[in-house]
Amino acid sequence: MPLLSLQAPRPAQHSTLAALGSPAAAPVLRSHPGPLTPESPLPVHVLEGITRHEGPPPARLAAWRFLVRSGGRAVAAAETKPTPDGWAFSHFFGGPYLSSTEQALRQAEALAGMYQPRLLSVPELYMLTLWLHGDTAADPAEGQPAPTDLLVPLAPAPPGIAAHRPHRVSDLLPVLTLRLGRVTPLLDATASPAA
């Protein structure tokens, strides 16, 4: 079933279009002739402090991301950030998350049910997931991961977590919490230095 098509805030769209038309556009874009269009807007939420909460920790909206397409394929991503004056263009980038996001979106289109697509970042694990939110009427800028929502880790995923395999939040969150619980500091602040 198709994913819900989202509308990014107009200032985010306009600032991205202006950046694409700028002569100072990123080098990653200069090698692609033809029109460049920002498509597939996705809100980027950040999940922090997952070991400090019972159940899903709070997520906060940190950005809106667009896939920049040329000739029918994504050639870069554009990200906008909130500012005191509204949304503003931040940067263009490439890298593995670009093709991984496209692959995850294609996979999600084949799933049963209707979802609102979002991105969910877990900075403590250097992990990015496609978040398939079950409440399609929700404001994409708000809300928390529901236990029945799906998370699709993007490649590269942390060791031991399969990329491009959908997981329910209720199943994946305990794995992430356990993984972070095993992280040990490089230096114990209470230990005395070696003599």
Average pLDDT (132-156) is 94
Q: Residue 134 has what DSSP assignment?
A: S
Q: For the segment 4-23, what is each residue's pLDDT rounded down to a tens digit?
A: 889 999 999 999 999 988 87
Query: Which pLDDT band holds residue 187 (cuts at 50, 70, 90)?
Result: very low
| Amino acid symbol at 174 | P
| Amino acid symbol at 67 | L
Which one is predicted more confidently, 182 or 50? Answer: 50
Which one is predicted more confidently, 167 or 28? Answer: 167
Distance separating alpha carbons of residues 167 and 69, to the nearest angstrom: 28
HSE-CB of 47 using CA atoms within 13 angstroms:
28
Distance separating alpha carbons of residues 151 and 174, to the nearest angstrom: 13
pLDDT score, position 176: 83
The Cβ of residue 150 has, within 10 Å, a number of other Cβ atoms equal to: 22
Asked if 127 and 158 touch (Cβ cutoff 8 Å), the reply is: yes
Query: Which pLDDT band holds residue 192 (cuts at 50, 70, 90)?
Result: very low
**Does the predicted model carry a pTM greater than 0.75?**
yes
Q: Residue 172 has what DSSP assignment?
A: H
pLDDT score, position 115: 95
Taking 70 as the threshold, does the pLDDT of residue 193 lie above it? no
The stretches of 144-188 forming alpha helices (DSSP H) are 169-181
